[in-house]
Chains A and B, each alone.
Chain A
């Protein structure tokens, strides 16, 4: 083939390609509206409907200008897919879910069951699996309407807090939607979610300090802030947090910079199953109620006090979780993973879990007392 005919052929091909491009239904970025957060609530008087709230960022040229533009659109509908299409007739541009990072589930809805919305998000292609789910109290719409003054990009505040990209709080039980989804499907491990509430003292401030424990699809129990913190100690390695104890009537607080929790399921004989937890915690003393000097032997005693009080608190928390029948820490999965009798292990575990006992061993190491002794 000569060079000339080759050139001709390439030219024809290019022309063909340009025809194809003309057929693409691609919409430019200025013709899109980005949904940054969505919320789901129940409608009081209509049980078959759900109320979907979408927070839509309106793109502005310069994020530094400080000008925030977002709108909130609400739609009552019988399904999510339908709500999205119904909302499309309320806006002038194409809706895009690719930047949706926050999913808020109203408390009433989360107590009823989250499966249908969760399924929709997992199934839909442009919604991320790394979305941050959270339970909203009192309801998703109220929370979505609050934009804290610290928010720099429309709808960003909740995503930053939930992702721990901005703040890093030991009270936030961080999770992703894919994590919730796999826990919903897996046997032997149950989902949990952080709970967003309105701070009841300050106006326009959100508070994420509780954790919702769920059975496969509905919220069973909301852990109090201190319990959420302990749950995080059990789940996250090297959690940055503080832990406190009292010794001889005065209060001590420790800044934790090293933590590790391991557990093992021991079955000495049927009916006497035990989960043995081993917590290793390291850190520095941060706060002390009396102002006397601390000696080395006192520090050792303090470590012991920490060991005891933490062990008690954690055991209490684990028992409280067990009473709800949920399993956010995946004890069941660990049991299945270490037992080879695949046909019978599930029944065994179900019979075992309600009366299993916990033994928590804590090893605290206080490296220093800060700047003053």
Chain B
């Protein structure tokens, strides 16, 4: 059993991840079409979903969603649902990994074959995703402890740069009157959706308690504002839209004067590398467990005979193998623009998937109450 603080880590990882991922690109793309208001709407939506989800999953201490669904729903409904959820998680990591390979090729080593990089990542991610939920959380803690100070440093450098144009930020703010687009709301709420990993990780929590909502609100708001306005301040309101990876270009515009390296990009790349790999590991772990939940025989699972455990372990290898193959295939098919389209699709479907998850969980809570 782990402490409650790991809940905040899960949230923080997902939020920080989106400081650099496709969310800034989407928000900046819509900057003249309502993403400013979208961001503002997204913050309360994100908080309410967290609050609801935590309240509901609290009722099932030590249980993951596969167990909860198995207990309160008929087999024919919950199995396809688990599959769908697993797909959402897998899709999230696939978009991240494929985009990340693109970034590596673009900024670090264009001479190396992208497949070599991707295969390296896939080996790492699938081996780590097999670890237990608890040890993943401990690893996550360590990574965050190293990376968060670097992120704070870079944020400080960006905001304190004399080249940061506050007028550009204010100009973007004047577009607040436009009605928000669905994509920008979906994109901005994704910052808050780290909590959803509880569908599996709830197994290792005694009883999740979230009291410091103001911390979540403050960090989430700060990150979503940074994700959108830091590129605008350093690359211009118009200019930010011309960059494929706005956050990378933003960091490349910063210079570290008294340090062994001059370009901030390299520091940023390491941070992004760790965060996106850890994020992918966690997503794969969740997706894998959800898929295993489909195949598990819940009737006799109390006690769990060793034979079943062995078959589960073999099944996990298969699941991860198929995931890897799918990501490799995606990397082969996808170019820069279709990767972006995939990301937009993902953000929109995820938004509704999250709402669906809330509804289903609410249904289970009602069933439990009527059963009691």
Q: How many interface residues does B have (CB within 8 Å)?
A: 40
Q: Most chain-B Cβ atoms within 10 A of its Cβ — which of A179, A336, A337, A342?
A: A337
B residues within 8 A CB of A109? none
Interface string of B256-283 (1 = CB under 8 A from A): 0100001100000000000000000000
Residue of B nearest to A334 (CB): B167
Given A130-B253, A178-B252, A338-B170, 8 other A-B contacts at CB below 8 A?
A: A17-B123, A128-B263, A165-B257, A176-B163, A182-B234, A186-B238, A187-B238, A333-B165
Nearest-Cβ distance from residue A183 to partner chain B, whole angstroms: 7
8 nearest CB pairs, A to B = A182-B236, A337-B170, A182-B239, A25-B111, A178-B253, A337-B171, A186-B236, A185-B239
Chain A interface residues toward B at CB < 8 A: 1, 13, 17, 20-21, 23-27, 125, 128-130, 165, 176, 178-179, 181-183, 185-189, 236-237, 330, 333-334, 336-340, 342
CA distance A337 to B232 in the complex (A): 13
A23 touches B234 (CB 8 A): no
Given contacts A129-B252, A130-B255, A336-B171, A26 and B119 within 8 Å (CB-CB)? no
Given contacts A24-B113, A26-B109, A339 and B174 within 8 Å (CB-CB)? yes
Q: Most chain-A Cβ atoms within 10 A of its Cβ — which of B123, B239, B313?
A: B239
Q: Most chain-A Cβ atoms within 10 A of its Cβ — which of B171, B174, B263?
A: B171
CA distance A23 to B169 in the complex (A): 45
Partner pick for A125 among B106, B116, B169, B255, CB 8 A cutoff: B106
Q: Is B162 an interface residue (CB 8 A)?
A: yes
A24 touches B111 (CB 8 A): yes
Residue of B nearest to A25 (CB): B111
CA distance A179 to B177 in the complex (A): 28
A185 touches B162 (CB 8 A): no
Q: Most chain-B Cβ atoms within 10 A of its Cβ — which of A13, A25, A339?
A: A25
A residues within 8 A CB of B119? 20
Nearest-Cβ distance from residue B250 to partner chain A, whole angstroms: 9
Q: Most chain-A Cβ atoms within 10 A of its Cβ — which of B111, B162, B167, B252?
A: B167
Q: Is B132 an interface residue (CB 8 A)?
A: no
Partner pick for B162 among A26, A130, A178, A237, CB 8 A cutoff: A237
CA distance A236 to B161 in the complex (A): 12
A25 touches B112 (CB 8 A): yes
Nearest-Cβ distance from residue A350 to partner chain B, whole angstroms: 16
B239 touches A17 (CB 8 A): no
A178 touches B249 (CB 8 A): yes
B residues within 8 A CB of A176? 163, 253, 255
Q: Is B168 an interface residue (CB 8 A)?
A: yes
A residues within 8 A CB of B113? 23-24
A residues within 8 A CB of B109? 24, 26
B residues within 8 A CB of A333? 165, 167-168, 171
Partner pick for B177 among A178, A334, A340, CB 8 A cutoff: A340
Q: Is B237 an interface residue (CB 8 A)?
A: yes
Q: Can you list 10 pairs linking A and B with CB atoms under 8 Å apart?
A: A1-B313, A129-B249, A165-B257, A176-B163, A181-B239, A182-B239, A186-B237, A337-B174, A338-B170, A342-B177
Nearest-Cβ distance from residue B157 to partner chain A, whole angstroms: 12
Q: Is B213 an interface residue (CB 8 A)?
A: no
CA distance A227 to B59 in the complex (A): 72
A185 touches B116 (CB 8 A): no
Given contacts A130-B252, A342-B175, A186 and B162 within 8 Å (CB-CB)? no
CA distance A261 to B252 in the complex (A): 28
Q: Is B145 an interface residue (CB 8 A)?
A: no
Q: Is B345 an interface residue (CB 8 A)?
A: no
CA distance A181 to B119 in the complex (A): 37
Q: Is B120 an interface residue (CB 8 A)?
A: yes
A residues within 8 A CB of B174? 336-337, 339-340, 342
CA distance A340 to B238 in the complex (A): 17
CA distance A208 to B196 in the complex (A): 57
Given contacts A125-B107, A178-B253, A237-B162, A186 and B239 within 8 Å (CB-CB)? yes
CA distance A87 to B249 in the complex (A): 28
B236 touches A183 (CB 8 A): yes
Residue of B nearest to A10 (CB): B127
Q: Is B235 an interface residue (CB 8 A)?
A: yes
B residues within 8 A CB of A17? 120, 123
CA distance A346 to B119 in the complex (A): 51
Q: Is B110 an interface residue (CB 8 A)?
A: yes
B residues within 8 A CB of A189? 167, 236
